[in-house]
Amino acid sequence: MTTLVPLQSDIYDRQYFLSEKCEGWNRFRVDNGLSPIKQGQVRGLAPAPGRRVLDAGCGRGEVLLACARAGADVAGLDYSEAAVEITKEVLAEVPDADVRRGDVTALPWANASFDAVLFGDVIEHLDPDQAVAAIREFRRVLRPGGTLLVHTAPNLLFLKVTWPVAKLALRAIGRGRSAQGLDDWIGESKAYHVNEQTVHSLRRTMRSGGFADAVAWIDPNVLRGGDHHLTEDLQASRLLALAERIGRLRPVRMFLGNDLYAVGRA
């Protein structure tokens, strides 16, 4: 397996996290709140008193804040110094939060330290060897019965197969501005997305990292309910609403959906 040169951490500066490059910015900038995607992640982590939660790749820290407010003991780690700074600012009301700068392939916590680990929107930034090493580390720090929740976007099958056709269709129905916006976002993301996933590759990575019974799936909400900056102006189109309903079908979703999830149990 080919190992890529690690990305420099200063790519992920404050501007990166406090912008649409980092999912959930529109909601976060209001009151440190959660986007619909991050709300789902918090539900998956099931924070509660007595549970210890790790956000590996904590970004701005809003997931940890929500978990702490639910009573959980929280810890966060990020490769970016800016992310660690922002997270500590967001968690100012949580003095016991354990937030560190570090590498997900060498976690600074002991075996069996956590009940739940979130690996959200990070795997696409790591080369394949790093991704497997990180999953192994999450397996190590989880307590027996603990949960690893992974989210990544976009779906590589969508980018390679669907998008070249879909952007032509959007332009044909008068949605050229939306098509251009998404095309620009995809082009810019290539600077830091070195390992975009399909549902099958994500499942393989989980299993290679020690989660033999891991499951992976694609969210059927292929337009993210119009709640995302890249899809919010598409929801009003009747034709696209029909396409969204068709896209919920499992075989079609493989090519239209972009939010990939995986869960592994320790």
* pLDDT tens per residue across span 186-236: 888 888 899 999 999 999 999 999 999 999 999 988 777 655 555 555 555
**Is the confidence at residue 38, as pLDDT, over 90?**
yes
pLDDT of res. 182: 83
In the sheet with 73-78, reading across from the earlier edge strand, the strands are 98-101, 73-78, 52-56, 114-120, 142-152, 260-265, 215-218
- 215-218 and 260-265: which strand pairing? antiparallel
Residues listed for the chain:
266
Instruction: Answer with the residue of higher pLDDT: 50 or 7.
Output: 50
For 9-157+186-265, which CATH class?
alpha beta
Average pLDDT over residues 138-163: 96
> How much is the pTM?
0.88
Q: Is 93 exposed, middle or buried (0-12, 13-18, 19+ CB in 10 A)?
A: exposed
The pLDDT assigned to 234 comes to 55
Residue range 246-264, pLDDT digits in tens? 767 778 888 888 999 999 9
Domain extents for the chain?
9-157+186-265
